[in-house]
Structure 1
Amino acid sequence: MQTRLLPDTPHGREEAAAILRAGGLVAFGTETVYGLGADARNDHAVAAIYAAKGRPGINPLISHFTTADAAFAQVTPTPLARGLASRFWPGPLTLVLPRAPGCAISPIATAGLSTAAVRVPAGGNTRALLAACGFPVVAPSANPSGRVSPSDALHVLAGLDGRIDAVLDCGPCHVGVESTIVDLSGPAPVLLRPGGVTLEALEAACGMPVAMPRASSNDSRPLAPGQLSSHYAPGLAVRLDADTVGADEALLAFGPPLPGSPLVWNLSARGDLREAAARLFAGLRFLDMEGHRRGLVRIAVQPVPAHGLGRAIRDRLVRAASPRP
């Protein structure tokens, strides 16, 4: 299969929609990261995503919609869900809710769970693509399973060229980490994955505390994407919260860089968490590729604060540093 690179124009989006309508796979940019899209109703197309990524079948997918009304037609919304949608959609928030009677989302996409994960992405061009399709589109990150997420079209091609039909080149993603996922299927909201909407903003909108998931992820039955213990991993090993760095290590810096590394990517020299989130996955990819070329043995990571977007950044880094399956 030859993977086509399509321009983000009305014609390019229509070509991408035609491929999706025919059951094919198209990667496209959102405000968070590039997603690998398929018709959420089509069992064969959804299964093809798992095959292309090498993704475990137990790991559910997020369905993307043009409007909150379209999303809530497939799940059973609560008043809190509608309130959060009004506050954060379109945007980087995913809600996990019970499947509605007659839900059209493939059970393969929900990994056989009684719930479904739904969101309305930001970006007029992304929603224009979804509108051209006229159906929900499942779209996990467009990369081989467990590896670093893509934040531009070339990252997608580096991992999936020849495995998917096309990439819609929407330019770089400005948020840079995946959506926040909140489980609203129980009596109280539970944060399943930190992301582009901060916990502080979420709790302010909920008017109540948002419960945190248990520290140990259940790799045998995740309720949402991004919960597997090893995820977002570069080829080089990752060492967290470094206060020194060796001559055989690449450095992922935050703020003033530590001395001693021959290879540095600074997430944000001024310590800006928004800038750091947008540069995270590109930095891991650069240090991994260039570090391998120079014979370095690992990536040392300077501490990142665990508040605001720092919580999402640290989540990705902890999973990147976890033992590989």
Structure 2
Amino acid sequence: MLNTKRWSVDLKKDLSTYYPQIEQAALLLQKNEVVAFPTETVYGLGANAKETDAVLKIYEAKGRPSDNPLIVHIAEIQQLHEFARIENEKAKALMDAFWPGALTLVLPCKPDALSKQVTAGLSTVGVRMPDHPVALELIRAAGLPIAAPSANCSGKPSPTQANHVASDLDGRIAGIVDGGSTGIGVESTVVSCVDEIPVILRPGGITKEALENVVGTVNVDPGLTKKDEVPVSPGMKYTHYAPEAHMYLFYGKDEDMQRYIHRYQAEGKKVGVLTTEEKKQVFSADVVYSCGWREKPETVAANLYHVLRQFDETDVDLIISEVFSEEGVGSAIMNRLQKAAGGRTLS
């Protein structure tokens, strides 16, 4: 078991105050160790993307399948040119519009520029520049492209707080940089820019509408709903984001959802409900948690993973969740809920 170091950074203070701590974390990355750090989406689990020994430690810590590719994080555009190619103007336009930010672009990868464990044997690589001062300073200090999936045990809800990371990975990684709660709360949007028309491979913090405002038509990959597809993006294969109790997505009227709650309770089961502020008084169950305001879907995205982890601290046997419009960030919310439920629905 590793002695996991932890450094706390107060974003209300001058970041230069924390350069020594960030440099300590960067030194561990240079030594091919694994360090968790905050981004504007969720906490990432970082390692040197060039070295296979380092990347394998990510898979080992997370218990992550090795055929699931990793996203490479950079702090400067110059870093991208070391390992990837920009082959069309739309890719450049998206970088100009959304970097730094919650957008991952899938680009052709230069041969032997990265560990093959990063790309899972594919000829492409996902890359993004995070919009978080600590993440950017850590990457700059390390002087490396940093492969970083979410900093949780594979399959569990992604971490939006350093305590979530510690709960899953304390003793399994070298360090955690604590930068407080993340902002967006769901992972980056992943867009393939290999062909002329960009393709969304994973919905996330940047909406389809926002992308199309910059580059026109953007397609959505049907692989998002196909279980037998080879993953070209994280989140396209395996069950993700799941709480410990089985979760069901409910499609229908509130009174019918309440009937299901009573039915399961009559069977002796403890029922949790994932709902919104507008409806938290509507449902009578053993545990009722709100993940935000239905009229403000960005609040649902920001709180979703935290609430899923809260359910793990209860003794509920199952969770019934509301569903949401798939417009805007709702597409990312429903993608995560569907994967958390593993396809289980009620109606």
**Equivalents in 2 of 1:241, 1:85: separation in Å?**
37
1:90 has 2:100 as partner = yes
Number of the residue aligned with 2:297: 273
The residue matched to 1:105 in structure 2 has which SS? coil
Kept in 2: contact 1:188–1:211 (CA 8 A)? no
Number of the residue aligned with 2:37: 28
How far apart are 1:323 and its partner, in Å?
Answer: 6.1
**Residue type at the aligned position of 2:342:** S
Number of the residue aligned with 1:213: 222
Kept in 1: contact 2:223–2:236 (CA 8 A)? no
Residues 73 and 81 (structure 1), Cα distance of their counterparts in 2 relative to 1, 3 Å cut: farther
Number of the residue aligned with 1:322: 342
User: Deviation per CA, 1:70-100, whole angstroms, max 9, x where unpaired?
Assistant: 2243211121111000000000000001113
Number of the residue aligned with 1:131: 140
Match of 1:283 among 307, 314, 339: 307
1:250 has 2:272 as partner = yes
Kept in 2: contact 1:58–1:220 (CA 8 A)? no
Number of the residue aligned with 1:118: 127
**Equivalents in 2 of 1:314, 1:144: separation in Å?**
21
> Which deviates the most, 300-309 or 251-260?
251-260
Kept in 2: contact 1:217–1:229 (CA 8 A)? no
How far apart are 1:58 and its partner, in Å?
Answer: 0.3
**Equivalents in 2 of 1:72, 1:121: separation in Å?**
17
> Which deviates the most, 230-239 or 248-257?
248-257
Residues 36 and 209 (structure 1), Cα distance of their counterparts in 2 relative to 1, 3 Å cut: closer
1:105 has 2:128 as partner = no
- Within a 5 Å distance, the mapping from 1:1-325 to structure 2 comes to 1-8=2-9, 9-77=18-86, 78-101=88-111, 104-214=113-223, 216-219=225-228, 221-241=230-250, 243=254, 244-245=257-258, 246=261, 247=265, 248-254=270-276, 255-257=278-280, 258-269=282-293, 271-290=295-314, 292=315, 296-322=316-342
Kept in 1: contact 2:37–2:46 (CA 8 A)? yes
**Residue type at the aligned position of 1:181:** V
**Equivalents in 1 of 2:218, 2:120: separation in Å?**
28
The residue matched to 2:326 in structure 1 has which SS? coil
User: Deviation per CA, 1:33-56, whole angstroms, max 9, x where unpaired?
Assistant: 001000111110001111111111
The residue matched to 1:171 in structure 2 has which SS? coil
> Which deviates the most, 70-79 or 312-321?
70-79
**Equivalents in 2 of 1:13, 1:88: separation in Å?**
25
Q: Which runs of 5+ in 2 are unaligned?
A: 10-17
How far apart are 1:220 and its partner, in Å?
Answer: 6.0
| TM-score computed with the length of structure 2 as normaliser | 0.88
Residues 263 and 120 (structure 1), Cα distance of their counterparts in 2 relative to 1, 3 Å cut: same
CA radius of gyration, larger in: 2
**Equivalents in 2 of 1:218, 1:270: separation in Å?**
29
**Residue type at the aligned position of 2:27:** A
**Equivalents in 2 of 1:95, 1:40: separation in Å?**
16
User: Deviation per CA, 1:7-62, whole angstroms, max 9, x where unpaired?
Assistant: 22212211100110011010001000001000111110001111111111100000
The residue matched to 1:240 in structure 2 has which SS? strand
User: Deviation per CA, 1:227-249, whole angstroms, max 9, x where unpaired?
Assistant: 11411111111110353242531
Q: How many residue pairs get matched? A: 319
> Which deviates the most, 244-253 or 181-190?
244-253
The residue matched to 1:109 in structure 2 has which SS? helix
Q: Which runs of 5+ in 1 are unaligned?
A: none
**Residue type at the aligned position of 1:27:** A
**Equivalents in 1 of 2:224, 2:123: separation in Å?**
23
**Residue type at the aligned position of 1:104:** A
How far apart are 1:190 and its partner, in Å?
Answer: 1.1
**Equivalents in 1 of 2:302, 2:291: separation in Å?**
8
**Residue type at the aligned position of 2:338:** V
**Residue type at the aligned position of 2:6:** L
Number of the residue aligned with 2:14: none
**Equivalents in 2 of 1:321, 1:114: separation in Å?**
31
| TM-score computed with the length of structure 1 as normaliser | 0.94
How far apart are 1:143 and its partner, in Å?
Answer: 0.7
Aligned residues with identical type, % of pairs? 40
Residues 323 and 198 (structure 1), Cα distance of their counterparts in 2 relative to 1, 3 Å cut: closer
**Equivalents in 2 of 1:3, 1:219: separation in Å?**
37
**Residue type at the aligned position of 1:67:** E
